[in-house]
Amino acid sequence: MAGRLKTIGEETGARIVFKSSYDKANRSAGDSFRGPGIEEGLDILAAVKAKTGLPVLSDVHEPSQAELAAKVLDVLQIPAFLARQTDLITAAAATGKPVHVKKGQFMAPEDMSHVVAKCRAAGNENILLCERGTSFGYHNLVVDMRSFPIMRSLGYPVVYDLTHSLQLPGAGTETGGLKQYAPILARAAAATGEVDGFFLEVHDAPDRALSDRATQLDVATVPELVRSLLALSAVARS
């Protein structure tokens, strides 16, 4: 998969960061697939980086994981449900690596100013702020396009987590989703001119994915989508 993504980057001119989780700690059901764990997972990500040259990113869930993860990862990610965990954010920022923080589904975009302050207090200005939808009643998320300029006004790049924002979380034992709307929301976000990057879950056989299969995009559709987003962003920013 990393090889496919590297090729897509070369073909489209997009800068690709490879993301995969060594532990999917936030699962709907206790027996859901979680991954290989931090040690084996970081070994795999190190091999991906060595083989492809792509920078790699993964989630950290506890402060104790940050130092070990930073030995391999180029970017440390704070999951949305942990976006207010001060000790975790501080530990990740203290590594000096770029920190990608997903806005909690329960947070307003301006609340991310506190995340920025925590990272800066730890001596880290390499901050990425991520929009991944806001809870709208039970089992539904919406994306408020105002969120992008509000978060960008904090002075740091903004990433749109497209596929997670299309989830129908918590409905049953496996999270559902509405990935048919992915191109529409992605283009709308790009057209704001306020989005610096896109987070996409992709798979070569989405129906067999062990995690988030309802929102995984077929990797074969990604080049066309990336080209359209790059073009829209360029027009919006010109």
> Tell me, what's the pLDDT at 62?
96
Segment 174-188 shows an average pLDDT of 92
Segment 7-30 shows an average pLDDT of 88
- The structural domain count of the chain equals 1
**Which domain CATH number covers 132?**
3.20.20.70
Segment 160-188 shows an average pLDDT of 88
Q: Are 159 and 129 in contact (CB under 8 A)?
A: yes
Segment 199-206 shows an average pLDDT of 95
Q: Is the pLDDT of residue 31 over 90?
A: no
**CB burial class (10 A; 0-12, 13-18, 19+) of residue 150?**
buried
Residues spanned by the domain of 110? 2-237
Dist CA 67 CA 92 (whole Å):
8
Dist CA 100 CA 57 (whole Å):
9
> Tell me, what's the pLDDT at 211?
82
> Tell me, what's the pLDDT at 173?
64
% of the chain surpassing 70 pLDDT: 96
> Tell me, what's the pLDDT at 169?
80
> Tell me, what's the pLDDT at 225?
98
Q: pLDDT by residue (tens digit) across 91-136? A: 999 999 999 999 999 999 999 999 999 999 999 999 999 999 999 9
Contacts of 139 (CB under 8 A, 6+ apart): 168, 169, 170, 171, 176
Of 5-9, 27-31, 179-183, minimum mean pLDDT range:
27-31
What is the overall mean pLDDT for the chain?
94
Q: Which residue has the higher pLDDT, 27 or 26?
A: 26
Q: Is the pLDDT of residue 29 over 80?
A: no
Segment 41-51 shows an average pLDDT of 98
> Tell me, what's the pLDDT at 172?
64
% of the chain surpassing 90 pLDDT: 85
Q: Is the pLDDT of residue 171 over 70?
A: no
Dist CA 34 CA 1 (whole Å):
19
> Tell me, what's the pLDDT at 24?
76
Backbone angles phi, psi at 36, to 5 degrees: -85, -10
